[in-house]
Amino acid sequence: MTKLTSMLFVLTITKILLGSCINQKDIENITPNQFKGSDIQRIRSAIDAAKGTTNKIYIPSRNANGTKLWLIDSAILLPSNMTVILENCTIQLSDKCRDNMFRSNNVGIGITDPKWNYNINIIGIGDVVLKGADYPRSTGDSGGPSVGSDVGKEGMKQTGGWRNIMILMAYVDGFKLKNVNIENAHAWAISFERTINADISDISFNCPERQNINGKEESVPNRDGIDLRHGCKNFRIDNIYGRTGDDFIALSILDLYSENQEGGSLNSTMVTTRRWRGPEDDTEQIFITNINCQSKYRGIAIRANDCASINNVYINGLIYGGRYNAMLIGGKGYGKPSLPGKINNIHAVNIMGKGRYLIHIEEAIADCCFMNGIYSGDGDIITYNLDKGTRPNAISNIDKDKVTNVISNNMMKMP
């Protein structure tokens, strides 16, 4: 081999190796900026490219269109084994969007028999903001009025629905959401149905009751923070703060019905079937820690019905500023009342708050403990209202069959 041939051979090999490195790096760092189309089309293309290869995409701060905003017209659909890394970015629903921001791809319109998804992660790095539209088409759920540009338009649904939930996960085993700031969700910010083994941490909410929409101050309904529906198990929820226009965190088994019951009214915030399938639809093993919240209604609300159970809930560290209660257990007007024993083993410690009462109980409970509470409002620390139409009363005046083995220790009312 001549000297010139040897040099050409070395240069060729070097070029191949360098090219291989560059291509490999591109593969390992899949971003929407590598694709063509609208923002949502490029994000979906990135997910398709990552599926089965790296199983990870990065959404950076800089959008290739020259902005620092990702404006999406429909939901980012997440398959199994997918991680989305959000790097100092802002993602916003466009004014054309009437859909979730993130949704597990196993549920949605036309899907009647959803299959389980596994291991979905949304991880924020730095300052990550997820925002609702400036002028949303719809807000709230189907149980009340909607605010938005679709109101009054012929052929448009005049109430909200599950598409107004910003992050919606259903039939997911293994989910992580970390380090994001959520602003002006169109209804519930984050909701889970039949989801197990989830880790939610370091989330802030700025979803107030009222918002300036199209130059007018509007009351936006149903702005909960985090909602766990039926069949949610093994959750860790830690270091959540901010303000919401409705319940900050709600564990709500609502509108499920058994084989021998009427189906009841459709609930717009459920994307899966409402039929109760047995104990697998119980919500249990929920650990909630380090919550600091402002909300219109409750800090943490726990509501069951006559079918499924909510049990083994551990709460440690709740600071509440709002109108009603740091904690609500039960809740009237959400279907058939919970039966004795369905809500059990609720253990809450280190609770501070104001409002009407610190803890308000409206359904039968068993084997619960409340410890280390500080209440600075004008009402009572713990109240019971187990019969519809009655005034809140003390434990000594209520049906002992509905309240069994409930302990409260070291509960203080500040002057």
* pLDDT tens track for 107-165: 999 999 999 999 999 999 999 999 999 999 999 987 777 899 999 999 998 889 999 99
Lowest mean per-residue pLDDT among 34-48, 58-72, 147-161: 147-161
Query: Token match 């403990």: residue?
Result: 369
Cβ–Cβ under 8 Å, residues 299 and 249: yes
Q: What is the mean pLDDT of residues 165-171?
A: 98
* pLDDT tens track for 215-226: 899 999 899 999
The token pair at 175 is: 């989910």
Q: Give bridge partners of residue 241 from the DSSP assignment.
A: 204, 292
Q: Residue 17: which H helix or E strand, with range?
A: helix 3-28
pLDDT above 90 covers a percentage of the chain that reads 73
Cβ-based burial of 336 (10 A; exposed 0-12, middle 13-18, buried ≥19): middle
**254 confidence band (pLDDT: 50, 70, 90):** confident
pLDDT of residue 8: 43
**250 confidence band (pLDDT: 50, 70, 90):** very high
Q: What is the DSSP string of 32-45?
A: GGGS-SSHHHHHHH
Instruction: Give the Cα separation of 141 and 162 in Å (integer).
Output: 7
**Closest-CA residue to 221 (of 244, 203, 190):** 244
Instruction: Give the Cα separation of 53 and 44 in Å (integer).
Output: 15
Q: Give bridge partners of residue 302 from the DSSP assignment.
A: 251, 329
pLDDT of residue 18: 39
Cβ–Cβ under 8 Å, residues 105 and 77: yes
pLDDT score of 169 more than 90: yes
Show Cβ contacts of residue 268 under 8 Å, excluding neighbours closer than 6 positions: 141, 142, 143, 159, 160, 161, 162, 164
Residue type, 376: S
Instruction: Give the Cα separation of 209 and 39 in Å (integer).
Output: 29
Instruction: Give the Cα separation of 192 and 230 in Å (integer).
Output: 8
pLDDT of residue 121: 98
pLDDT of residue 400: 64
What three-state secondary structure class fits 287? Answer: strand
The token pair at 146 is: 């909607």
* pLDDT tens track for 295-354: 999 999 999 888 889 999 999 999 999 999 999 998 776 777 788 889 999 999 999 999
Show Cβ contacts of residue 98 under 8 Å, excluding neighbours closer than 6 positions: 137, 138, 150, 163, 164
CATH 2.160.20.10 fits domain 55-413: yes
pLDDT of residue 260: 61
Show Cβ contacts of residue 284 under 8 Å, excluding neighbours closer than 6 positions: 233, 309, 310, 311, 312, 313
Is the full-model pTM beyond 0.75?
yes
| CB-CB neighbours of 106 under 10 Å | 21
User: First and final CA of the chain: distance in angstroms?
Assistant: 95
The domain ranges of the chain are 55-413
Instruction: Give the Cα separation of 170 and 190 in Å (integer).
Output: 11
pLDDT of residue 12: 43
pLDDT of residue 265: 46
